[in-house]
Chain A
Protein backbone atom coordinates (compact mmCIF):
# COMPACT_ATOMS: atom_id res chain seq x y z
CA UNK A 1 0.00 0.00 0.00
CA UNK A 2 1.32 3.39 -1.00
CA UNK A 3 1.67 5.73 1.96
CA UNK A 4 2.92 9.29 2.24
CA UNK A 5 3.19 10.78 5.71
CA UNK A 6 4.09 14.44 6.21
CA UNK A 7 5.54 15.90 9.37
CA UNK A 8 7.31 19.02 10.57
CA UNK A 9 4.51 21.56 10.46
CA UNK A 10 3.73 23.95 13.28
CA UNK A 11 3.59 27.55 14.40
CA UNK A 12 6.47 29.79 13.34
CA UNK A 13 7.03 33.54 13.48
CA UNK A 14 7.34 35.59 10.30
CA UNK A 15 10.88 35.37 9.00
CA UNK A 16 11.40 31.98 10.61
CA UNK A 17 12.15 28.58 9.12
CA UNK A 18 10.64 25.12 9.08
CA UNK A 19 11.62 21.84 7.46
CA UNK A 20 8.85 19.56 6.30
CA UNK A 21 9.36 15.85 5.71
CA UNK A 22 7.34 13.32 3.75
CA UNK A 23 8.04 9.66 4.52
CA UNK A 24 7.15 7.36 1.65
CA UNK A 25 6.42 3.64 1.73
CA UNK A 26 4.77 0.94 -0.35
CA UNK A 27 6.49 1.83 -3.62
CA UNK A 28 9.94 2.36 -5.11
CA UNK A 29 10.42 5.97 -4.06
CA UNK A 30 13.44 6.55 -6.29
CA UNK A 31 11.36 5.87 -9.42
CA UNK A 32 8.98 8.80 -8.99
CA UNK A 33 8.77 12.55 -9.26
CA UNK A 34 7.50 14.14 -6.08
CA UNK A 35 5.75 17.43 -5.36
CA UNK A 36 4.68 19.73 -2.57
CA UNK A 37 1.22 21.30 -2.84
CA UNK A 38 -0.35 23.67 -0.35
CA UNK A 39 -3.87 24.67 0.50
CA UNK A 40 -4.73 27.90 2.22
CA UNK A 41 -7.26 27.35 5.01
CA UNK A 42 -10.68 27.06 3.40
CA UNK A 43 -9.33 27.77 -0.06
CA UNK A 44 -7.96 26.07 -3.15
CA UNK A 45 -4.87 24.11 -4.06
CA UNK A 46 -1.55 25.65 -5.08
CA UNK A 47 1.39 23.70 -6.46
CA UNK A 48 4.59 24.68 -4.65
CA UNK A 49 7.53 22.62 -5.89
CA UNK A 50 8.64 19.53 -7.79
CA UNK A 51 11.70 17.30 -7.76
CA UNK A 52 12.54 14.61 -10.28
CA UNK A 53 13.28 11.02 -9.37
CA UNK A 54 17.03 11.37 -8.75
CA UNK A 55 16.88 14.87 -7.31
CA UNK A 56 18.80 16.49 -10.16
CA UNK A 57 15.95 18.77 -11.29
CA UNK A 58 13.74 21.00 -9.15
CA UNK A 59 11.02 23.51 -9.97
CA UNK A 60 9.34 26.14 -7.81
CA UNK A 61 6.34 28.41 -7.84
CA UNK A 62 7.36 32.05 -8.15
CA UNK A 63 5.85 32.78 -4.74
CA UNK A 64 8.40 30.55 -2.98
CA UNK A 65 11.41 30.72 -5.30
CA UNK A 66 14.55 31.67 -3.41
CA UNK A 67 12.95 30.92 -0.03
CA UNK A 68 11.98 27.23 -0.24
CA UNK A 69 14.20 24.30 -1.18
CA UNK A 70 12.93 20.86 -2.12
CA UNK A 71 15.17 17.82 -1.73
CA UNK A 72 14.97 14.08 -1.32
CA UNK A 73 16.86 11.21 0.25
CA UNK A 74 16.17 8.15 -1.87
CA UNK A 75 18.07 5.89 0.54
CA UNK A 76 15.65 6.90 3.30
CA UNK A 77 12.54 7.21 1.09
CA UNK A 78 11.97 10.75 2.29
CA UNK A 79 11.07 14.04 0.64
CA UNK A 80 11.86 17.39 2.24
CA UNK A 81 10.83 21.01 1.97
CA UNK A 82 13.10 23.55 3.66
CA UNK A 83 11.12 26.75 4.13
CA UNK A 84 13.00 29.94 5.03
CA UNK A 85 11.95 33.57 5.38
CA UNK A 86 8.40 32.47 6.07
CA UNK A 87 5.55 34.94 5.56
CA UNK A 88 1.98 35.06 6.82
CA UNK A 89 0.80 34.14 3.34
CA UNK A 90 2.70 30.83 3.56
CA UNK A 91 0.16 29.67 6.15
CA UNK A 92 -1.42 26.55 4.71
CA UNK A 93 -1.76 22.80 4.87
CA UNK A 94 1.20 21.34 2.98
CA UNK A 95 0.78 18.06 1.13
CA UNK A 96 3.34 15.89 -0.57
CA UNK A 97 2.12 14.12 -3.70
CA UNK A 98 3.52 11.49 -6.01
CA UNK A 99 4.18 11.39 -9.75
CA UNK A 100 3.36 13.66 -12.65
CA UNK A 101 -0.37 13.72 -11.95
CA UNK A 102 -0.39 13.44 -8.13
CA UNK A 103 -1.80 9.93 -7.88
CA UNK A 104 -1.18 9.66 -4.14
CA UNK A 105 -1.22 12.37 -1.49
CA UNK A 106 -0.24 12.52 2.14
CA UNK A 107 -2.65 13.66 4.83
CA UNK A 108 -1.03 17.08 5.04
CA UNK A 109 0.77 19.07 7.72
CA UNK A 110 -0.36 22.50 8.88
CA UNK A 111 2.09 25.39 8.78
CA UNK A 112 1.01 28.57 10.56
CA UNK A 113 3.09 31.70 10.21
CA UNK A 114 2.10 34.22 12.83
CA UNK A 115 3.57 36.40 15.54
Chain B
Protein backbone atom coordinates (compact mmCIF):
# COMPACT_ATOMS: atom_id res chain seq x y z
CA UNK B 1 0.00 0.00 0.00
CA UNK B 2 1.23 3.47 -0.87
CA UNK B 3 1.51 5.57 2.27
CA UNK B 4 0.80 9.27 1.80
CA UNK B 5 2.35 11.61 4.34
CA UNK B 6 1.27 15.24 4.59
CA UNK B 7 3.13 18.04 6.30
CA UNK B 8 2.69 19.98 8.37
CA UNK B 9 -0.25 18.60 10.33
CA UNK B 10 -1.36 22.15 11.10
CA UNK B 11 -0.40 25.32 9.29
CA UNK B 12 -1.16 28.77 10.68
CA UNK B 13 -1.23 31.51 8.06
CA UNK B 14 -2.64 35.02 7.93
CA UNK B 15 -5.27 35.99 5.34
CA UNK B 16 -3.63 37.34 2.20
CA UNK B 17 -0.47 35.33 2.71
CA UNK B 18 0.72 32.28 0.79
CA UNK B 19 0.25 28.74 2.08
CA UNK B 20 2.35 25.78 0.97
CA UNK B 21 1.21 22.26 1.83
CA UNK B 22 3.31 19.17 1.18
CA UNK B 23 2.48 15.57 0.38
CA UNK B 24 4.93 12.72 0.06
CA UNK B 25 4.26 9.23 -1.32
CA UNK B 26 6.11 6.14 -0.09
CA UNK B 27 6.67 5.12 -3.72
CA UNK B 28 6.18 6.79 -7.06
CA UNK B 29 2.58 7.58 -7.98
CA UNK B 30 3.63 9.35 -11.20
CA UNK B 31 1.21 12.30 -11.56
CA UNK B 32 -1.83 10.42 -10.23
CA UNK B 33 -2.32 12.75 -7.31
CA UNK B 34 -5.37 14.74 -6.23
CA UNK B 35 -5.95 17.39 -3.57
CA UNK B 36 -9.22 17.90 -1.70
CA UNK B 37 -10.54 20.57 0.64
CA UNK B 38 -12.91 19.70 3.45
CA UNK B 39 -14.78 22.07 5.73
CA UNK B 40 -16.54 20.98 8.93
CA UNK B 41 -19.76 19.11 8.27
CA UNK B 42 -19.18 19.01 4.52
CA UNK B 43 -18.03 16.46 2.00
CA UNK B 44 -14.57 16.88 0.53
CA UNK B 45 -14.26 19.00 -2.61
CA UNK B 46 -11.85 18.21 -5.41
CA UNK B 47 -9.33 20.98 -6.00
CA UNK B 48 -6.57 19.47 -8.12
CA UNK B 49 -6.13 16.25 -10.10
CA UNK B 50 -3.27 14.98 -12.21
CA UNK B 51 -1.01 16.71 -9.66
CA UNK B 52 -1.47 20.12 -11.29
CA UNK B 53 -4.83 20.43 -13.08
CA UNK B 54 -7.42 22.56 -11.33
CA UNK B 55 -10.88 21.05 -11.12
CA UNK B 56 -13.88 22.84 -12.56
CA UNK B 57 -14.65 26.08 -10.77
CA UNK B 58 -11.53 26.11 -8.58
CA UNK B 59 -9.96 29.59 -8.29
CA UNK B 60 -6.58 30.23 -9.86
CA UNK B 61 -5.04 30.95 -6.44
CA UNK B 62 -4.92 27.17 -5.95
CA UNK B 63 -2.07 25.44 -7.74
CA UNK B 64 -0.51 22.01 -7.56
CA UNK B 65 2.91 20.77 -8.52
CA UNK B 66 5.16 17.74 -8.31
CA UNK B 67 5.41 14.21 -9.63
CA UNK B 68 6.72 10.88 -8.47
CA UNK B 69 6.84 11.08 -4.70
CA UNK B 70 6.85 14.79 -3.83
CA UNK B 71 3.85 17.08 -4.28
CA UNK B 72 2.87 20.57 -3.24
CA UNK B 73 -0.40 22.48 -3.01
CA UNK B 74 0.03 26.23 -2.98
CA UNK B 75 -2.64 28.77 -2.16
CA UNK B 76 -1.26 32.07 -3.35
CA UNK B 77 -3.29 34.56 -1.30
CA UNK B 78 -5.43 33.07 1.42
CA UNK B 79 -9.06 34.03 1.60
CA UNK B 80 -11.23 33.48 4.68
CA UNK B 81 -13.05 30.62 2.96
CA UNK B 82 -9.79 28.73 2.40
CA UNK B 83 -9.29 27.80 6.06
CA UNK B 84 -10.11 24.11 6.11
CA UNK B 85 -8.51 20.67 6.10
CA UNK B 86 -6.67 19.60 2.96
CA UNK B 87 -6.05 16.01 1.88
CA UNK B 88 -3.86 14.57 -0.82
CA UNK B 89 -4.74 11.24 -2.42
CA UNK B 90 -3.00 8.92 -4.86
CA UNK B 91 -4.91 7.00 -7.50
CA UNK B 92 -1.98 5.31 -9.22
CA UNK B 93 -2.16 2.05 -7.24
CA UNK B 94 -4.84 0.00 -5.49
CA UNK B 95 -5.80 0.63 -2.80
CA UNK B 96 -6.22 4.33 -3.36
CA UNK B 97 -4.83 6.09 -0.29
CA UNK B 98 -5.21 9.48 1.35
CA UNK B 99 -2.84 11.51 3.44
CA UNK B 100 -3.82 12.23 7.02
CA UNK B 101 -4.64 15.85 6.22
CA UNK B 102 -3.26 19.31 6.87
CA UNK B 103 -5.40 21.70 8.86
CA UNK B 104 -5.01 25.25 7.57
CA UNK B 105 -5.92 27.67 10.32
CA UNK B 106 -6.04 31.41 10.67
CA UNK B 107 -2.99 32.95 12.31
Contact = CB atoms under 8 A, between A and B. Distances in A.
B91 to A, nearest CB: 6
B100 to A, nearest CB: 5
Contacts of B100: 44
8 contacts: A45-B87, A95-B43, A100-B91, A101-B34, A101-B49, A101-B89, A103-B49, A103-B55
Interface size of B as a range:
20 to 34
A74 to B, nearest CB: 22
B44 interface: yes
Interface stretch (A9-17, A80-88, A104-112): A104-112
Chain A interface main SS type:
loop
B89 A108 contact: no
B98 A102 contact: no
Given A45-B98, A62-B95, A106 B43 contact: yes
Interface in A33-89: 35, 44-47, 50, 59, 61-62
Interface string B70-107: 00000000000000000101010011111111000000
Interface string B41-74: 0011110011000011000000000000000000
A101 B46 contact: yes
